Amino acid sequence: MNGAMSSSLALRLAVFALVVVFFQVGVVAELPVFGVNADLCSLLVAFVGLMCGSSIGAACGFAVGLFVDLALLQTLGLTSLVFTLIGYWCGRLRELRDPQAALTPLIVGAAASGVSLLGYSLVEFMLGVDAPVSFELLREIVLGTVVNTILALPMWALTRRALERGLPEDPRRRRQRRTYTTGGLSPLTKP
Partner 1 sequence: MHDKTVRRRRAVLGLLVVLSLLLLTAYFGEAPNGRLHAVQRDFLAIVSPLQDGANKALKPVRDLFDWFGNALHAKGQLAQSVKQTDKLRRELVADQAEKRSYRQLLAIYHLDQLGVSDYRPVTAEVVGKNPELWYATVTIDAGESSGVGINDPVINGEGLVGRVAQVASDGALVDLITESSMGVSARIGTSDATGLLQPKVGEPNDLLLQYLPGSTQPNVGENVVTSGTVSSGESLYPPGLPIGQVTSVNEESAYKSVNVRPFANLHDLGIVQVLTSGAGTRPSNLSRLATSLPAGQPALSGEQLASTQVGG
Residues of the shown chain interacting with partner 1 in the complex, contacts defined by CB under 8 A = 2-3, 22-23, 25-27, 30-31, 54-55, 58-59, 61-62, 65-66, 69-71, 73, 75-78, 80-81, 84-85, 88, 123, 127
Beta-carbon count within 10 A of 87 CB:
33
With a CB cutoff of 8 Å and minimum separation 6, the contacts of 98 are: 172
CB of 30 to partner 1, least distance (A): 6
Beta-carbon count within 10 A of 96 CB:
9
CB of 86 to partner 1, least distance (A): 12
Q: Between residues 31 and 102, which has the closer beta carbon with respect to partner 1?
A: 31
CB of 31 to partner 1, least distance (A): 5
Q: Between residues 26 and 171, which has the closer beta carbon with respect to partner 1?
A: 26
For residue 36, the SS3 value is strand
Q: Between residues 82 and 152, which has the closer beta carbon with respect to partner 1?
A: 82
CB of 158 to partner 1, least distance (A): 14
Q: Between residues 22 and 177, which has the closer beta carbon with respect to partner 1?
A: 22
Residue 116's Cβ-count burial label (10 Å; 0-12, 13-18, 19+) is buried
Candidates 20, 48, 17, 62; CA nearest to 160 is 48
CB of 127 to partner 1, least distance (A): 6
Q: Between residues 58 and 108, which has the closer beta carbon with respect to partner 1?
A: 58
CB of 138 to partner 1, least distance (A): 24
Please report how the helices 135-163 and 7-26 are oriented relative to each other, as an axis angle in degrees rounded to 10. 140
- Return the DSSP state at 33: B
Q: Between residues 101 and 127, which has the closer beta carbon with respect to partner 1?
A: 127
| Residue 92: alpha-carbon gap to chain centroid | 13
3-state helix, strand, coil in the chain (%, to 5): 75, 0, 25
